[in-house]
Amino acid sequence: MKKRKLGNSGLEVSAMGLGCMGMSWSYGPAKDKQEMVSLLRAAVERGVTFFDTAEVYGPLVNEELLGEALAPFNGRLVIATKFGWEPKPGDTDRWSALNSRPEHIKQAVEGSLKRLKVDAIDLLYQHRVDPDVPIEEVAGAVKELIQAGKVKHFGLSEAGAQTIRRAHAVQPVTALQSEYSLWFREPEVDILPTLEELGIGFVPFSPLGKGFLTGKINETTQFDVTDFRNSVPRLTPEARKANQVVIDLLASTATRLHATPAQVALAWLLAQKPWIVPIPGTTQLNRLDENIGSVSLELSPDDLRDINEAIAKITVQGARYSEQHQKLVGR
């Protein structure tokens, strides 16, 4: 597995990470715990060293899953987690009670350390910007945790460019995690230039469009009633039908390169900047292998030009979030 460094921080991780949310939450019912333990350990065996979780996933149980599965590899991996909500066991509201008050951050970190079975959190993200707490206070609280040896690196998720700058001035930001893919390129406007200027790494989540860019989802696909994709405007049956043109583009390139649409989508992301590390999620070993295979898929300058020219002619239908969830991003 190739390695990459997240910006100027020196934090080195596998070129492809693993997003773990769907193992416990959001994409339908939680998966069998022992199967997920086996999958996580299989990822390590294949060279993946970068794993992404959060306090709110479950809530709490996804961190516990990683703590159990990855404990044998302590010190060899980079595990990222997030604070920013006050999750309660059994809480079904993904967006309940933002809280980034310094005292809550410190309390959340103590819980994450125990669940992850580690002495220090490798990368700690603020999950969403809290409008009630100045970002300088948030960054200051994380700085104290870094000085105390409980956290190694500070990150932000879905933050706007000015918030990134303000936080970075207090405590250097190692990575930003936000959505970025062939069918959501908004970060290219001001986020990527800001990150490049400041030497901050970028960790795209949903690099496969919440599964759509794999080509395995179409207008007839039925999501489980507990699957949050039911609330995503871009993934209504009508939008999926209209957006099939994106899959057709990926499939034509994939056929020529003896790859899959998912591998082309991930290889495209990897080709954008050397400090970008996608974290596609999966609960299946064959999909894990498929995603990892994209790291060795080299897209030529001609390939990239053709893809960019073709995608520029496509208008993706539907917003990426509901109106309620969109209010939480870009602040």
Tokens for 114, please give them.
Answer: 């125990």
Catalytic residue among 57, 125, 180, 321: 57
Beta carbons within 8 Å of 262's beta carbon, 6+ residues apart: 208, 213, 214, 215, 280, 287, 290, 291, 294
Predicted pLDDT of residue 330:
82
Res. 123: pLDDT tops 60: yes
User: So what's the pLDDT on residue 89?
Assistant: 56
What's the confidence (pLDDT) of residue 189? 97
Rounded Cα distance, 240 and 80, in Å:
32
What is the C-alpha to C-alpha distance for residues 235 and 219, in angstroms, rounded to an integer?
9
Average pLDDT, the chain: 95
> Domain for residue 193, yes or no?
yes
- Asked whether residue 160 is domain-assigned, the answer is yes
Judge whether 57 counts as a catalytic residue: yes
pLDDT digits over 228-269, tens only? 999 999 999 999 999 999 999 999 999 999 999 999 999 999
For the residues of 159-224, what is the DSSP string, one character each? --HHHHHHHHHHS-EEEEEEE-BTTB-THHHHHHHHHHHHT-EEEEESTTGGGGGGT---TT----
pLDDT tens per residue, range 4-38: 999 999 999 999 999 999 999 999 999 999 999 99
Measure the CA–CA gap between 125 and 79, rounded to whole angstroms. Answer: 11
pTM: 0.95
Q: Does residue 233 sit within a domain? A: no
- DSSP calls for 6-30: -TTS--EEESS-EE-GGGTSSBSSP
Percent of the chain with pLDDT strictly greater than 90: 92
- Evaluate whether residue 240 is within a structural domain: no
**Residue 59: strand, helix, or coil:** coil
Specify the pLDDT at position 88.
59
List, for residues 136-178, the tens digit of each pLDDT value. 999 999 999 999 999 999 999 999 999 999 999 999 999 999 9
pLDDT score for 94: 53
Question: How far apart are the C-alpha atoms of 1 and 188, rounded to whole Å?
Answer: 27
The Cα 270–Cα 228 span in angstroms is: 27
Counted domains in the chain: 1
SS3 category, 225:
coil
Q: Which of 253, 154, 172 is CA-nearest to residue 213?
A: 253
Q: Please check whether residue 242 lies inside any domain of the structure.
A: no
- Give pLDDT tens digits for 63-111: 999 999 999 999 999 999 999 987 655 555 555 689 999 999 999 999 9
Q: Is residue 219 part of a domain?
A: no
CATH code, domain carrying 78 = 3.20.20.100
Owning domain of residue 21 = 3-209+272-297
- From residue 210, alpha-carbon distances to 88, 219, 287 in Å are 25, 14, 13
Whether 121 maps to a domain, the answer reads yes
Main-chain phi, psi angles of 300, to 5 degrees: -75, 165
Residues 6 or more apart whose CB falls under 8 angstroms from that of 36 comprise 23, 24, 65, 69, 283
Instruction: Assign 322 a pLDDT band (cuts: 50, 70, 90).
Output: confident
Question: Measured in Å, how far apart are the chain's first and last C-alpha atoms?
Answer: 35
In a domain, 114, yes or no: yes
Whether the Cβ atoms of residue 62 and residue 25 lie closer than 8 Å to each other: yes
Q: 204 in the Ramachandran plot: left (φ > 0), alpha (ψ -120 to 50) or beta?
A: beta
Alpha helices per DSSP H over the chain: 33-45, 61-70, 102-116, 135-147, 161-170, 187-198, 237-242, 244-257, 261-272, 285-293, 301-312, 323-326
Cα separation, 14 vs 277, whole angstroms? 8
Q: 14 and 21 in contact (C-beta within 8 Å)?
A: no
